[in-house]
Amino acid sequence: MQAVDMMIKNVYKVSEKDSVRSVIEKFIDYRISGVPVINDRNEVVAYVSDGDIMRYIGRHKDIIVDSLYTVNVIKGDDEEFENRVKKILDLSVLQIAKKKVITAPWDEEIENVAATLGKKQIKKLPIERDGKLIGIISRGDVIRHTFKTIL
């Protein structure tokens, strides 16, 4: 089985010209947690996830790791947090998105797709044909398709 046989063809995506506000609106409206960022030629130029947004608004300097299992967060000024949240909305998606995107060709064997998702610890893998986005595969897609005939 190849990636094209399993991929989701109706891909939620955003333009490289979009703001973070429009990305978050898509996350909320479609109940998703990440999308490929494409240019005018439908080429994947970045990927933005809820984790990218969390890293931006989070208070990194105030997180203290006491041990392997204990993390203490020092509470800060709520107004400061709200200001960070408001500032991110008007940023360009490319200011927070990951630019090094792992993709797979449409004819990639599903075993290799599964290996890539696992090894690279990513949740979704954009699928391309001739350098253009044509679909996406998630870890859940691989598990559902792989085990539905066995269970």
Q: What is the pTM of this model?
A: 0.82
pLDDT at 128 over 70: yes
Matching CATH number, 3-147, of 3.10.580.10, 3.20.20.140, 3.90.380.10, 3.40.50.720? 3.10.580.10
When pLDDT is averaged across residues 118-140 and rounded to a whole number, the result is: 96
At residue 33, the pLDDT reads 93
pLDDT at 78 over 70: no
pLDDT at 143 over 50: yes
At 6, is the pLDDT very low, low, confident or very high (cuts 50, 70, 90)?
A: very high
d(CA 67, CA 86): 33
At residue 82, the pLDDT reads 81
Bridge partner list, 135: 127
pLDDT at 76 over 60: no
Which has more pLDDT, 78 or 10?
10
Taking CA atoms, 60 is separated from 2, 48, 66, 101, in Å, by: 41, 19, 15, 24
Q: What are the backbone angles phi and psi of residue 64, rounded to the nearest 5°?
A: -120, 125
Which has more pLDDT, 81 or 34?
34
Sign of CA dihedral 103, 129, 6, 3: negative
Out of 43-47, 104-108, 141-145, least confident range? 141-145
d(CA 109, CA 5): 10
Bridge partner list, 73: 63
